[in-house]
Amino acid sequence: MWHGRFSEPTADEVKAFTESISYDWRLYRFDIMGSIAHATMLAEIKILTLEERDQIIKGLREIEQEIQSGKFVFKPELEDIHMNIESALTERIGPAGGKLHTARSRNDQVALDTRLYTRHEIRQIQEAIRELQRSLVAFARRYEKVIMPGYTHMQRAQPTLFAHHMLAYVEMLQRDHGRLEDAFKRVNVMPLGSSAIAGSTIPLNRELVATLLDFPAITHNSMDAVSDRDYLIEVMSALALVGVHLSRLCEDVILWASSEFKFIVISDSYTTGSSLMPQKKNPDIAELTRGKTGRLFGNLVSLLTTMKGLPMTYNRDMQEDKEAFFDSVETAKSSLLIMAKMMSHIVLTEPRIKISVNDASLLATDMADYLVKKGVPFRTAHEVIGKMVGHCVQEHKALTDLTLEKMREFSTAFEKDITSVLSLEASITSRTSTGAPSYVNVARELERWDKHLTDPKYPVRK
């Protein structure tokens, strides 16, 4: 493409080192989409005749078909997807193909292609997030009334509902969805026409290209437009957080599937065995998803590092954005989708959960709250119950084993109605403040999520 200035051909090892076609072929649809819009605009401003425009569009569509059906032969010596397509077009249609690159550089072309690709993939990933959210809500619904111990510091803390625990992940994923939506706005800006660095002397109609490609806005600084990769970093950062959330969910799944917990059983079809130990049934999907989070972080840090020292404007370093970005997209998408499937292949071992939740110390805070309602200052109540717990530990008793008489030795504020507090069901029922896991609250939340996840127009919150 640049033989005019060169008298020696590119060395083979240089071709091998600089090529990106082995991975940026993924941009082909978007490259062709962008070229069709560019050609349409060039005809509009009379740089191309209508015949040339039509020849170009027809040629590009044929190439697209060939790539789609796997017939197209990519040439590494043509470096990247942009030159592979342009060269195939010229081979096919002759001189008109040579006019397509008018007022365009690969610098603004690649920026356009990656923005189109990112726009498309954001929507795919958002749908994968929805899939997992739906699966979690369905899982929560299957066990809507199951009470389980809630943990802090991995120590039993207070009773909660299993459904509430699952909905916590639905909330996290909702923020991920929102972050991608926010990033989408900044991805959705049209850079073509910035050309190599300083726009063009040809009077381009950039607004027309934007309209054809359904961009609501265009870039306003040609130098920034060809050197900006913020939009990729933002999305990768949102995906790194998706990874954090998936990894935490996986950690719960792995822990609950352990012999020590046995809270859940994952179906055979969603676990794997050991080549050596016949008894093993391992939660590999959850482990791999937790492990792949490392890639999502690594890819983000990789591109941040690539960009940090770059002078204006385009530098070839920026070609390194793609492998990392493609990998983050694929990793996040496949992890979300497999997790959605796996969650629907888990059953709770309710008797085991019952044993764990049948720990009266989970009600200690409820008892302190009881004293508060009787007028005892919370700090005093905390101390009273603390002493009772200490007493029970020494006597190998449960808090619920204490008689009213015994309780009154610790505080005279205890009355007959304390019995109404001393049950898990009562504890759950009375957790009615907004965001707390009473049966009524959780049922309402499930309802809201169901509606929102069926029709996103229905807001989760009023």
In the complex, the residues that contact ligand ARG under the rule CB under 6 A are 20, 80, 106-107, 110, 314, 316, 318-319
Q: How far is the CB of 95 from ligand ARG (least distance, A)?
A: 24
List helix spans (H) across 19-105: 21-24, 28-44, 50-68, 81-93
CB of 104 to ligand ARG, least distance (A): 11
Question: What letter would DSSP give residue 11?
Answer: P
Query: Which residue lies nearer to ligand ARG by CB, 79 or 252?
Result: 79
Q: Dihedrals φ, ψ of 384, to 5°?
A: -55, -50
Residues 6 or more apart whose CB falls under 8 angstroms from that of 349 comprise 262, 263, 264, 265
Handedness of CA 349, 350, 353, 355 (dihedral sign): negative
Q: Is 165 a catalytic residue?
A: no
Min dist. Cβ of residue 280 to ligand ARG (A): 45
Residue 228 in tokens = 């900006």
Instruction: Tell the smallest beta-carbon distance from residue 316 to ligand ARG (Å).
Output: 6
Write the Ramachandran bin of 123: left for phi over 0, alpha for psi from -120 to 50, otherwise beta.
alpha
Cβ distance to ligand ARG smaller for residue 316 or 461: 316
* Angle between helix 230-257 and 321-343 (nearest 10): 30
Among candidate residues 3, 153, 259, 396, the one labeled active-site is 153
How far is 196 from 108, CA to CA, in rounded Å? 6
Beta bridge partners of 150: 158
- Looking at the Cβ atoms of 110 and 339, the one nearer to ligand ARG is 110
> Is the CB of residue 222 less than 8 Å from the CB of residue 194?
yes
Single out the residue of 442, 454, 461, 361 nearest to residue 134, CA to CA: 454
Closer residue to ligand ARG in complex, CB, 52/121: 121
Residue 226 CB, nearest approach to ligand ARG (Å):
9
Smallest distance, ligand ARG to C-beta of residue 321, A:
7
Residue 110 C-beta: closest distance to ligand ARG, Å: 4
Distance CA 111, CA 337 (A): 28
Residue 87 annotated in active site: no
d(C-alpha 160, C-alpha 168), whole Å: 12
Which pairs with CB-CB distance under 8 Å and at least 24 residues apart come from 351-355? Answer: 352/261, 352/262, 352/263, 353/146, 353/147, 353/148, 353/162, 353/263
Residues 22, 24, 28, 33: what is their CA dihedral angle, to the nearest 10 degrees? -170
> Under 8 Å CB-to-CB from 175, ≥6 apart: which residues?
241
Nearer to ligand ARG, 26 or 352 (CB): 26
Question: What stretch of H or E contains 157?
Answer: strand 155-161
Cis peptide before 313 (omega within 30 of 0): yes
- Point out the catalytic residue in the list 258, 267, 274, 420: 274
Minimum CB–partner distance for residue 291 and ligand ARG (Å): 29
Quote the radius of gyration of the chain (alpha carbons, Å).
30
Distance of alpha carbon 447 from alpha carbon 462, whole angstroms:
13
Closer CB to ligand ARG, 20 or 361, in the complex: 20
The residue among 76 and 150 lying less far from ligand ARG, judged by its C-beta, is 76
Active-site residues: which are they? 153, 274
